[in-house]
Amino acid sequence: MTHEKSPAVYIMANRHRGTIYTGVTSDLGGRVLEHRDGSRGGFTAKYGLKALVWYENHADMASAITRETRIKTWRRKWKIDLIESINRDWSDLSDNLIHRPFAPPSTSRHSKRANSEAEHAIRNPAAGSPSGVPNRSLAPSLARRPVAFGMTDGVGVAEGVRYFPQYFSPEAQQHLLTQLRAAVAAAPLFTPEMPRTGKPFSVRMTNLGSLGWVSDRARGYRYQATHPVTGKPWPAIPEVLLSLWQEVADYRHSPEACLVNFYSGTAKMGLHQDRDEQDFSAPVVSVSLGDTALFRIGGTERGGKTQSVKLASGDVLSFGGPARLAYHGIDRLYPGTSTLLKDGGRINLTLRRVTIPSP
């Protein structure tokens, strides 16, 4: 066994789909030896967890601890999916331990593809973030998930719902935020209104793409080609988001709209369906940036059973097929869980196909 010291998150098991344990260490080789000979004691010794079935290395201990903490909150099925994304047979990886870095991989493609404060949060990155715009040619590689995740199909949350935790690296999030600040300068955030009542939404928004979603008292929910305030066309969808769509949407045509919603610390969004589009065969692909949000999704009928997922900065969620018209919403934010936005809050990007493609 190679004793290459590096912060790492790992999972031990006692058999195929048996008892598992998630841990973090600065010396994976040494830690696995302790689990094997039982000298570490505790849970792994009690249940005979001696096989290293999954791991990923991190650049620093802080990010490793954060990752371990998140995985420990996952449902067991998600952990099994994570293991089997790189180790379908649950083989012991410790005999051939390699450095599996938590870092953006190369440009090779995967197998499958409210108020001025809100604008200030998007336009101003957190302290220490890069001030320049990265070369556009780097966008696809920055968007890639860490190699160690290997979950090209994501984690199944429900039928038709796929969850890609930390799809965007911290560097890719900063790159995307830089592009969003430029977009907001061209297409300022506005507050949509409920049809008929004119009640303002608790989120502010703008759009990217050839079409943008808007809503007001007089004309209700709709897509249009121009900003409701400036009358100008929406900015283009960044290449990094088009690459994301190609990776996870499993749909051959490009998205036409990217909704940009800004949530302040108290904003939420009630359960609703996305049904203003003509083409329901295309999924909705969602990107989370900033503070963690509690996302809830149910069935296609109101009042049915729902389940919740905490979406952190960099996470991606896709829902289509039987879940395309599922009721979903944001119950709450967890302020202070991300430093991406200087003043806190959350940005949600949703990529959608609106019209039915020509034959």
Taking only the tens place, the pLDDT of each residue in 117-161 is 445 554 454 433 332 323 322 233 333 333 333 344 567 778 899
Which pLDDT belongs to residue 74?
A: 87
**Between 222 and 168, whose confidence is greater?**
222
Q: Do residues 29 and 119 make contact, with C-beta atoms less than 8 angstroms apart? A: no
Q: Is it the case that residue 79 has pLDDT exceeding 60?
A: yes
Mean pLDDT of the chain: 83
| pLDDT (tens digit per residue) in 174-199 | 999 999 999 999 999 999 999 999 99
pTM over 0.85: no
Of the candidates 147, 168, 151, the residue with the CA atom closest to the CA atom of residue 56: 147
State yes or no: pLDDT of 315 exceeds 70. yes
Confidence band for 248, pLDDT divided at 50, 70 and 90: very high
Q: 174: Cβ–Cβ under 8 A, 6 or more apart, which residues? A: 125, 129, 130, 340
Banded pLDDT at 85 (limits 50, 70, 90): confident
List, by residue range, all CATH 3.40.1440 domains of the chain.
8-96
Residues, the chain: 359
pLDDT-derived band at 96, boundaries 50, 70, 90: low
18-63: pLDDT as tens digits: 999 999 999 998 899 999 999 988 999 999 999 999 998 888 888 8
List the single range of 68-82, 125-139, 163-177, 318-332 with lowest mean pLDDT.
125-139
Q: Which residue has the higher pLDDT, 237 or 151?
A: 237
Interval 219-236 mean pLDDT: 97
Q: What is the CB neighbour count within 10 angstroms for residue 305? A: 7
Q: Could you tell me which residue, 226 or 104, shows the higher pLDDT?
A: 226
CATH no. of 8-96:
3.40.1440
Bridge partners (DSSP) of residue 25 are 8
Token pair, residue 223, equals 């897509």
Read off the amino acid at residue 82: L
Distance CA(119)–CA(184), nearest Å, equals 7
In whole angstroms, give the CA distance from residue 94 to residue 103. 21
Judge whether residue 326 has pLDDT over 70.
Answer: yes
Q: Boundaries of CATH 2.60.120.590 in the chain?
A: 116-352
Residue 99 has pLDDT above 50, yes or no: no
What is the pLDDT, as a whole number, of residue 140? 32
What pLDDT score was predicted for residue 316?
94
Asked whether the beta carbons of 79 and 22 are under 8 A apart, the reply is yes
If you average pLDDT over residues 299-315, what whole number do you get? 91
- CATH assignment of 116-352? 2.60.120.590
For residue 108, the model assigns a pLDDT of 34
Q: Which of 16-20, 130-134, 274-278, 325-329 has the lowest mean pLDDT?
A: 130-134
